[in-house]
Amino acid sequence: MALIAYARVSTDGQTLDAQISQLKAAGADKIFKEKVSGARADRPQLRKALATLMSDDVLVVIRLDRLARSTRDLLNILDEVASKGAHFRSLSDTWADTTTPHGRLMLTVLGGLAEFERELIRARTGEGRERAKANGVQMGRKPKLTPHQRKEALRRRDAGEALTAIARTYDVSHSTISRLQA
């Protein structure tokens, strides 16, 4: 079992020293360090730390905000850790420790709450979409052709004119013309 640590600060003006000393004091075998915003999805050192994890290893951070930028991000990272048979521990957030039954329970509850929140958002989005449709709002991309252009293009197509010639007139692809329906 190895303690794999991850330390991160957001800007070049900040220092990793305090995090590194806390992680070393906790017994970290290897520390992955980076100076990058937590809002960035591409954090190369975090990727390397996760790739290093083996079964029964523990990924350690000093605080949850050093690891994840949102609950969803945290749960995705913890899922990746668990899929390797590894564990996770936050030194400052003692409840976030998957090496203990209580920690696993807390993170399971957190995952359930995040899933519940996603379902609420999905329901509200669906309701909003239905209200908008009822109020006459057209969903999707704006049509490339106006109703007048559509009628004219259909008339020209029915007269046997080449699709590419019609399309060139309206600056659209020939497949847009071929998909037109009366």
Buried residues in 142-156 as b, exposed as e (16+ CB within 10 A): eeebeeebbeebbeb
Q: Which of 10, 21, 37, 70 is catalytic?
A: 10
Query: Full-prediction pTM beyond 0.85?
Result: no
pLDDT one digit per residue (tens) for the chain, 182 residues: 899 999 998 876 678 888 999 999 999 999 999 988 767 778 899 999 999 999 999 999 998 888 887 777 888 888 899 999 999 999 988 888 888 888 888 888 877 887 788 788 889 999 989 999 999 998 888 889 999 999 999 999 999 999 999 999 999 999 999 999 87
Q: Tell me phi and psi for residue 87, to 5 degrees.
A: -125, 175
Domains and CATH numbers, the chain: 3-99 (3.40.50.1390), 147-178 (no CATH)
Task: Measure the CA–CA gap between 2 and 29, rounded to whole angstroms.
Answer: 6
Asked about 10 being catalytic, the answer comes back as: yes
CA distance 62 to 64: 7
Distance CA 35, CA 61 (A): 15
46 in the Ramachandran plot: left (φ > 0), alpha (ψ -120 to 50) or beta? alpha
